[in-house]
Amino acid sequence: MNIFQIFVKYHEAFTDGLLTTLKLCLVIWCSGLLVGALVGVMAHRRPRLLGIPTKVASFFMVSVPVLVFLFWLHFPLAQLGVRLPPFWSASIALSIVNILAVADIVRHALGEFPQEYLVVARISGLTTNQALRHIQFPLIIRNILPSLIATQVTMLQATLFASFISVDEIFRAAQNVNARIYEPVQIYTALGILFLVVCGPIQGLALLLKRRFGRKLAELTSR
Partner 1 sequence: MIVARNISKLAGSATLLEGINLELKPGSITAIIGPSGAGKTMTLRCLTLVDLPSSGELSINGTSFTFPRDKPDTSLVWPKLTAVFQQLFLWPHLTLFDNVALPLRMAGRSDADVRARAMLQRVGLADVANHFPNEASGGERQRAALARAVAMEPRYLFLDEITSNLDVEAAGGVLEIIRSLKSDGLAILIVTHSLHFIASAADAIVFIDHGRIVESGGPEILQDPKTPRLQKFLSVIRSTH
Instruction: State the residues that interact with partner 1 by CB under 8 A.
Output: 114, 116-117, 119-127, 130, 134-135, 138-139, 142, 213, 215-220, 223
Separation in Å, CA 177 to CA 15, 125, 182 = 12, 65, 8
Nearer to partner 1, 80 or 223 (CB): 223
* Contact criterion met (CB below 8 Å) for 94 and 70: yes
| Nearer of residues 5 and 127 to partner 1, judged by Cβ | 127
- Per-position DSSP letters for 80-142, written without gaps between them: TT----HHHHHHHHHHHHHHHHHHHHHHHHHHHS-THHHHHHHHTT--HHHHIIIIIHHHHHH
Name, in order, each residue with C-beta under 8 angstroms of 204's C-beta and a sequence gap of 6 or more.
none
Q: How far is the CB of 129 from partner 1 (least distance, A)?
A: 10
Q: Between residues 47 and 214, which has the closer beta carbon with respect to partner 1?
A: 214
Which amino acid appears at position 150 of this protein? A
In terms of CB distance, is 15 or 128 closer to partner 1? 128
Rounded least distance, CB 223 to partner 1, Å: 8
CB of 108 to partner 1, least distance (A): 19
Min dist. Cβ of residue 38 to partner 1 (A): 23
